[in-house]
Amino acid sequence: MEFEHNYDFYLLLDAVLNEPHKVKDIVVKNRAILDAENLSGENVLCWLALENLIEGVSLLRSLGSKIPQFTLCEAIEMGNTEMVILLLELGADIEAEISFCRSAIDNEIYNLSSKKKRLIRSYFEQYGHEI
């Protein structure tokens, strides 16, 4: 069963990356594919967000894919400012992640520039949150 679940992840990922025009049909035939995870527990939308693939994230969200918890924080950690704003626009659950996002932006391990920190903070302010 886990193999099938993992297979669905790679089937959807391959379609998004190589044949995006087929993704809607794939999802219509199998809505559960949007929840399929890889061995790291990421769904395809999360994987695409971490790779900063804006179009793929937008496509999957338009088809009803969930934004998994911590995807927004991980985008912050990676310094992907465009993805951060997209995830906010697409309805990432800020309330559930706000304390983690605060930690991510100030964590020296991620070495975010002052400019990126300011941008990300301004994005959150636009949605009524201070980080």
pTM of the model: 0.90
Domain boundary among 48, 66, 84: 66
Do 51 and 109 fall into the same domain? no
Domain span holding position 124: 69-131
Do 56 and 73 fall into the same domain? no
Residue 50 and residue 79: Cα distance in Å, rounded? 10
Do 51 and 74 fall into the same domain? no
User: Are the C-beta atoms of 5 and 27 separated by less than 8 Å?
Assistant: no
Do 73 and 57 fall into the same domain? no
Q: Which two tokens stand for residue 68?
A: 């998994």
Q: How many domains does the chain divide into?
A: 2
Do 58 and 112 fall into the same domain? no
Residue 1 and residue 9: Cα distance in Å, rounded? 13
pLDDT, tens only, 16-64: 999 999 999 999 999 999 999 999 999 999 999 999 999 999 999 999 9
Do 62 and 80 fall into the same domain? no
Q: What is the dihedral of CA 69, 47, 65, 94, to 10 degrees?
A: 30
